[in-house]
Chains A and B, each alone.
Chain A
Amino acid sequence: MLNKHSLSTLATWPWAVLTPVLLFVAIAIFALWISPYDPTTQNYSAVLQGSSWEHWLGTDYLGRDLLSRIITGAQVSLVAMSIVLIAALIIGVTIGSFAGYVGGKTELVLISAIDIILSLPSLVVALAFIGIIGPGYWSMIAALTMAWWANYARMSRAVVTSELHQPYIEAARVMGASHLHIFVRHILPHVLALVVVYASADAGALVLAIATLSFLGLGVEPPTPEWGQMLVDGMNYLEQYPRLVVLPGLALTLVVSSFNLLGEHFALKKVPRGLTQRHLKILKRLRAQEEARISELEASA
């Protein structure tokens, strides 16, 4: 869990699973400076080129630099994903906490609505919303937010319900603290601690959803570079120029795996696992050295 304590001990952070994600975030943030060309500038004198010194990964059918498009695609994905995640968190935590805090009939109605949304796969909910409000970048964002908030609402409500019964809340209430004060000071931190970690593990699924919607032509629209949409563009050139499909697909897979790896790290911590052979060997050697040192000490005494 991330809390103030572990923030101060950077050494204990899971760097192995964190590094790929941070690398992706860095590329996305500095996309403008890293990418050698403008990702949307067409160049008809350099169409469908292979890799060269000018274009490391070649160019696409409109002569746009593929490397620049992939780098900018990272930014597009990250931005869209962050907007959705933050919006869904705000909506989810607000509605869920409200339901849990108020209780009674309001809670019942809200939780039923949440359950209905959760009984459908998120992407189907998102597709239904896009169907209603029409395709486009912002409707994709809105649709994904509508599909994702219910998860966090449900979780927030569970935390609020369990926290409300803690004795210290009673104590605060007896001492005359207002509802808002109790909620913000005592309950919200618990909600956020759980939900934010869970949401970070959701990032991979969200990147995948954005790419899928764009692939279906219902998300990010051309000419904005987005990996899923680049891939569907490249499908027409699959036979002659497979890299137009493989490179964006690979970028997408790598980013999603790194998020999933991070999510797995949080989710699977509790299951006991045996050590790997190599790790065990090292530990055994250390122990043998320790043993030798002790017997030497005992002999010399």
Chain B
Amino acid sequence: MLTLIARRTLLALAMILAASALTFALIAAAPGNVAALIAERTAGPSASAELVQSIADDLGLNDPLPVRYGRWLSDSVAGDFGGSLRTGKPILEEFAERAPVTGLLLVCGGAIALIMSLTIGMLGAISNGGKIDSLLRALSLAGASTPNFFVAALLVMLFSVTLGWLPAFAGSSAASWIMPCLTIALFPCSVLSRVVRVNLQEIMSRPFATTGFAMGYTRLGVLTREALPNIAVPYLTTFGAQFTLMIIGSIVVETVFAMKGIGAFFIEAIRFRDFISMQATLLSFIMFFVFVNLFVDIICLLIDPRIRRQSNA
């Protein structure tokens, strides 16, 4: 068991290395020299070739690619991502300010998606072909098809413009977090409730579900006792995937509600062609994705007795 977890962790680290090397190489190959960009920002469009050259020397941009990658990685691991080309602030500082915003958004959105999807999927399975089931099915299809910027706009229209209950832009109040969290939760919630519903349905047609009925349980009893534990693995796997997808949700939501998070930072970096910030943000995203997947993998290993016991033996 432990060796299995250790192996997965090593694989995850290798993944981070490979993915970051790939992005580093691609960004290095990008048209538009970073040194030229910096020179342009500091000295205006008439920057001399010598200035560009000296900046490139300063940054070590003339070294071979692997050397640069090694230097960048070791600096990044030490927490030094460099300074933003746009604001000049150290990127670590930006991260420290912005990570809590994105983190809170992901955690709240994830929690809403978790609770709602289990509830909705269960209700659908209980209703099984009834009116509630059809309604929830249609709603989750709509939820998975509505772009989150449109959801955000509709929420603003309803709660800010028409009802005037909630502020349209993010502030410090808890109320200003409600719409961003709901927006970001809708898509994963819709997908996950389908996963719950479909997997419950599949498991209810397995022989051991019939055994549950034979033991004297009602349908609700069989659903909660026999079926629910058995959807844990597919559910968690999808939840992990959806949780990482929420990064995209956070990019959109932070843009719409003018929140100062990592997602908005990334978009700004792309717009301003701030390669250094982009690289740092991508590294943090990659780490986030890989660690979420690793975490889900390990939980699945721990939950499923078939895998757990086998690896012990």
Interface residues of A (CB under 8 A from B): 112-113, 115-116, 119-121, 123-124, 127-135, 204, 208, 211-212, 215-218, 228, 231-232, 235, 238-239, 242, 245-246, 249, 252-253, 256-257, 259-261, 264, 268, 271-277
Contact residue among A120, A131, A268 (Cβ-Cβ distance under 8 Å from B273): A131
Query: In the complex, what residue of chain B is closest to A232 when comparing beta carbons?
Result: B149
Contact residue among A123, A131, A252, A253 (Cβ-Cβ distance under 8 Å from B270): A131
Q: Is A120 a contact of B270 with CB atoms below 8 Å? A: no
Query: In the complex, what residue of chain A is closest to B22 when comparing beta carbons?
Result: A116
Q: Is A238 a contact of B205 with CB atoms below 8 Å? A: no
A110 to B280, CA, bound (A): 25
- By DSSP majority rule, is chain B's interface helix, strand, loop, or mixed? helix
Interface residues on B, range: 35 or more
Query: In the complex, what residue of chain A is closest to B137 when comparing beta carbons?
Result: A264
A233 to chain B, nearest CB (A): 12
B213 interfacial contact with A, CB 8 Å: no
Contact residue among A113, A131, A231, A261 (Cβ-Cβ distance under 8 Å from B149): A231
Contact residue among B145, B273, B289 (Cβ-Cβ distance under 8 Å from A119): B289
Contact residue among B153, B247, B273 (Cβ-Cβ distance under 8 Å from A235): B153
Over the window 260-280 of chain B, the binary record of Cβ atoms lying under 8 Å from chain A Cβ atoms (1 yes, 0 no) is 000000110111010100100
Q: Is B251 a contact of A252 with CB atoms below 8 Å? A: no
B215 interfacial contact with A, CB 8 Å: no
Chosen A-B contacts, 27 in total, with CB atoms closer than 8 Å, are A113-B22, A119-B19, A119-B293, A121-B248, A124-B248, A124-B285, A128-B278, A132-B26, A135-B271, A204-B145, A216-B252, A217-B271, A235-B256, A238-B153, A242-B157, A245-B157, A246-B157, A249-B154, A253-B142, A257-B141, A257-B145, A259-B145, A260-B145, A264-B141, A271-B198, A272-B201, A274-B129
Instruction: Write out the residue numbers on chain B whose beta carbons fall within 8 Å of the beta carbon of A133.
Output: 30-31
A245 to B154, CA, bound (A): 9
Q: Is A256 a contact of B147 with CB atoms below 8 Å? A: yes
A246 to chain B, nearest CB (A): 8
B72 to chain A, nearest CB (A): 16
Q: Is B161 a contact of A238 with CB atoms below 8 Å? A: yes
Q: Is A120 a contact of B248 with CB atoms below 8 Å? A: no
B135 interfacial contact with A, CB 8 Å: no
Known: A256-B145, A271-B202. 7 other contacts (CB 8 A): A128-B23, A217-B271, A228-B147, A238-B153, A253-B142, A253-B146, A257-B142
Instruction: Write out the residue numbers on chain A whose beta carbons fall within 8 Å of the beta carbon of B266.
Output: 127
Query: In the complex, what residue of chain B is closest to A279 when comparing beta carbons?
Result: B129
A134 to B274, CA, bound (A): 11
Instruction: Write out the residue numbers on chain B whose beta carbons fall within 8 Å of the beta carbon of A252.
Output: 147, 150
A152 to chain B, nearest CB (A): 18
Instruction: Write out the residue numbers on chain A whose beta carbons fall within 8 Å of the beta carbon of B278.
Output: 128, 131
Given A249-B150, A249-B154, A275-B129, is A130 in contact with B248 using a C-beta cutoff of 8 Å? Answer: no
B290 interfacial contact with A, CB 8 Å: yes
Contact residue among A120, A211, A245, A249 (Cβ-Cβ distance under 8 Å from B19): A120
A64 to B202, CA, bound (A): 51
Q: Is A119 a contact of B141 with CB atoms below 8 Å? A: no
A214 to B256, CA, bound (A): 13
B residues 272-304 with Cβ under 8 Å of A? Answer: 273, 275, 278, 282, 285-286, 289-290, 293
Over the window 168-212 of chain B, the binary record of Cβ atoms lying under 8 Å from chain A Cβ atoms (1 yes, 0 no) is 000000000000000000000000000000100110010000000
Which of B27, B130, B146 has the most C-beta atoms of chain A within 10 angstroms of its own C-beta?
B146
A216 to B147, CA, bound (A): 12
B96 interfacial contact with A, CB 8 Å: no
Contact residue among A119, A215, A256 (Cβ-Cβ distance under 8 Å from B15): A119
Ranked nearest first, the 7 interchain pairs of A and B with the lowest CB-CB distance are A249-B150, A257-B145, A131-B270, A256-B145, A132-B30, A123-B248, A253-B146
B255 interfacial contact with A, CB 8 Å: yes
B18 interfacial contact with A, CB 8 Å: yes
B84 interfacial contact with A, CB 8 Å: no
Q: Is A238 a contact of B156 with CB atoms below 8 Å? A: yes
A233 to B128, CA, bound (A): 43
Given A120-B285, A128-B278, A135-B271, is A245 in contact with B145 using a C-beta cutoff of 8 Å? Answer: no
Instruction: Write out the residue numbers on chain B whose beta carbons fall within 8 Å of the beta carbon of A121.
Output: 244-245, 247-248, 289
A285 to B248, CA, bound (A): 51
Q: Is A128 a contact of B26 with CB atoms below 8 Å? A: yes
B69 to chain A, nearest CB (A): 15
B14 to chain A, nearest CB (A): 9
A264 to B195, CA, bound (A): 12
Instruction: Write out the residue numbers on chain A whose beta carbons fall within 8 Å of the beta carbon of B247.
Output: 121, 124
Q: Is B147 a contact of A211 with CB atoms below 8 Å? A: yes
B144 interfacial contact with A, CB 8 Å: yes
Q: Is A116 a contact of B147 with CB atoms below 8 Å? A: no
Instruction: Write out the residue numbers on chain B whose beta carbons fall within 8 Å of the beta carbon of A132.
Output: 26-27, 29-30
A161 to chain B, nearest CB (A): 21
A295 to chain B, nearest CB (A): 31
A123 to B18, CA, bound (A): 19
Q: Is B198 a contact of A120 with CB atoms below 8 Å? A: no
A132 to B289, CA, bound (A): 21
Which of B142, B149, B275, B293 has the most C-beta atoms of chain A within 10 angstroms of its own C-beta?
B149
